[in-house]
């Protein structure tokens, strides 16, 4: 088991190094002078010259890279020229919002997607199967920005039962100060206020539902196909012949053995949600990581852009790494294969 984990960790190291190289070179890929990208276009020539010497921009490229990486490993991503604040502090404010949104979306996607996939597999070629497949096709094909405006119009504009966006009704909770950055956790465990918790969840509901549509559809299709294969196996017929309850046959035997492709879909889609929530965050005024990167691109703010790309890409690698490691815990046969 430990050898399997060590091999996966070693395989991820070259990818992380490659991601750091790409993130570092973004500074030099931006149009104009790297010093201007870090200081802002209004910096004087004298300020730029002094900054090049201070930041080591006159050094060879490989020395600049090593200097930047050593800073990143210490948590130093530099300062944003747009806000004159450390990028690490801004990430600490933005990342929890994206994680909270992605977790909410994956809860919707997993619960609804797996349920629809199982239902479609249990009743193949039926009206239920047709409805589930149609739902999956619509979920994959529907543009996120159009769906976001639609649900805003319906639930926030016409019905007025949910808010348009943001993370909280700040005007109604002027004394609210986030402790962890995760508003749901703060509302439940720190403030212990039911009304505050409901307000936070009401703001989280619509963007999570919109963001969940694509992974929900993919998870439903994968669950259906893997469950169809699992339900045809001999061990399912044996379990039914022994008088096992239908729910036990489906959930304990079939779903457990079909779970590896489903886990792969869930984890990879979760990585996508952490980095790909740009449109949803923009539509719902959600102050997350995706919106942070877009704002950095708009003003050519190099340090936030480097940090955002590095964090998003590393998330994909780490999610795939966790997926590979989880296989051995889910399926004991893989542990035996690794040991042999």
- Name every residue whose Cβ is closer than 8 Å to that of residue 202 and which is 6 or more positions away in sequence: 162, 163
Domain contains 170: yes
Residues 309 and 298: their CA atoms lie apart, in Å, by 15
Domain contains 134: yes
The CA-CA-CA angle for residues 16, 17, 19, to 5°, reads 65
Same-domain status, 294 and 321: no
Same-domain status, 125 and 273: yes
Report DSSP letters for 95-147, one per residue.
HHHHHHHHHHHHHHHHHHHHHHHHHHHHSTTSHHHHHHHHHHHHHHHS-HHHH
Q: How far is CA 277 from CA 127, 222, 293, 299, in A?
A: 33, 22, 11, 20
Q: Maximum distance among all alpha carbons in the chain?
A: 84
Same-domain status, 240 and 211: yes
- Domain count within the chain: 2
Is residue 337 within 8 A of residue 315, CB to CB? The reply is no
The CA-CA-CA angle for residues 199, 151, 180, to 5°, reads 35
Domain contains 314: yes
Residues 95 and 287: their CA atoms lie apart, in Å, by 9
Domain contains 87: no
CATH number at residue 260: 1.10.3720.10
Same-domain status, 173 and 59: no
Same-domain status, 289 and 306: no
**DSSP designation for 79:** B
Which pLDDT score, from 0 to 100, does residue 62 have? 86
Is residue 166 within 8 A of residue 285, CB to CB? The reply is yes
Same-domain status, 266 and 216: yes
Which residues constitute the domain of residue 205?
100-298
User: H helices within the chain, ranges in order?
Assistant: 2-29, 34-39, 45-55, 61-73, 87-122, 127-141, 144-151, 183-185, 194-211, 213-231, 234-241, 246-248, 255-257, 259-275, 278-283, 289-298, 302-330, 332-339
Same-domain status, 57 and 72: yes
Same-domain status, 155 and 197: yes
Q: Which of 314, 71, 140, 117 is nearest to 226 (CA)?
A: 117
- Name every residue whose Cβ is closer than 8 Å to that of residue 284 and which is 6 or more positions away in sequence: 148, 152, 164, 165, 166, 206, 207, 210
Domain contains 91: no
Q: Which of 42, 139, 154, 106 is nearest to 266 (CA)?
A: 106
With tokens 């008088």, the residue in question is 243
Domain contains 92: no
pLDDT tens for the chain, residues 1 to 340: 677 677 778 888 888 899 999 888 887 777 767 777 677 666 777 777 787 777 777 788 888 899 889 989 888 898 888 888 999 999 999 999 999 999 999 999 999 999 999 999 988 888 888 888 888 888 778 888 888 899 999 999 899 999 988 999 888 888 888 889 999 999 999 999 999 999 999 999 999 999 999 899 899 989 999 999 988 888 888 888 888 888 888 888 888 888 888 888 888 888 778 766 788 888 898 999 888 988 888 887 888 888 988 988 888 888 888 877 776 666 655 555 555 5
Same-domain status, 116 and 19: no
Same-domain status, 293 and 145: yes
Domain contains 125: yes
Domain contains 269: yes
Say what the pTM is: 0.85
Which pLDDT score, from 0 to 100, does residue 175 have? 81
Residue 279 is encoded by which pair of tokens?
């449109």
Residues in the chain: 340
Which pLDDT score, from 0 to 100, does residue 205 have? 95
Same-domain status, 4 and 125: no
């Amino acid at each position: 088991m430990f050898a399997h984990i060590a091999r996966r960790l070693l395989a991820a190291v070259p990818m992380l190094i490659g991601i750091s190289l790409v993130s570092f070179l973004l500074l030099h890929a931006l149009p104009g002078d790297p010093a201007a990208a870090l200081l802002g276009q209004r910096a004087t020539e004298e300020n730029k010259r002094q900054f090049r010497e201070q930041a080591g921009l006159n050094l060879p490229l490989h020395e600049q890279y090593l200097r930047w990486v050593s800073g990143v490993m210490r948590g130093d991503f530099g300062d944003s020229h747009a806000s004159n604040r450390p990028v690490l502090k801004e990430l600490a404010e933005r990342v929890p919002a994206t994680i909270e949104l992605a977790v909410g979306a994956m809860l919707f996607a997993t619960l609804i997607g797996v349920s629809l996939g199982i239902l479609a597999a249990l009743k193949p070629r039926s009206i239920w199967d047709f409805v589930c497949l149609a739902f999956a096709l619509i979920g994959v094909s529907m543009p996120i920005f159009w769906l976001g405006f639609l649900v805003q119009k319906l639930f926030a504009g016409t019905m007025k039962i949910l808010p348009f966006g943001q993370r909280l009704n700040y005007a109604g909770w002027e004394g609210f100060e986030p402790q962890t950055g995760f508003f749901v956790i703060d509302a439940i465990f720190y403030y212990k206020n039911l009304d505050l918790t409901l307000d936070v969840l009401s703001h989280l509901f619509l963007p999570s539902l919109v963001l969940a549509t694509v992974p929900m559809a993919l998870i439903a299709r994968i669950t259906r196909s893997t469950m169809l294969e699992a339900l045809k196996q001999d061990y399912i017929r044996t379990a039914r012949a022994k008088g096992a309850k239908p729910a036990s046959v489906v959930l304990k035997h079939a779903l457990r053995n079909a779970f590896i492709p489903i886990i792969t879909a869930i984890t990879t889609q979760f990585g996508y949600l952490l980095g790909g929530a740009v449109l949803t965050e923009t539509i719902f005024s959600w102050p997350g990581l995706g919106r942070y990167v877009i704002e950095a691109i708009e003003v050519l703010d190099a340090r936030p852009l480097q940090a955002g790309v590095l964090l998003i890409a590393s998330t994909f690698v780490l999610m795939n790494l966790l997926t590979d490691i989880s296989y051995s815990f889910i399926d004991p046969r893989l542990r035996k294969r690794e040991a042999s």
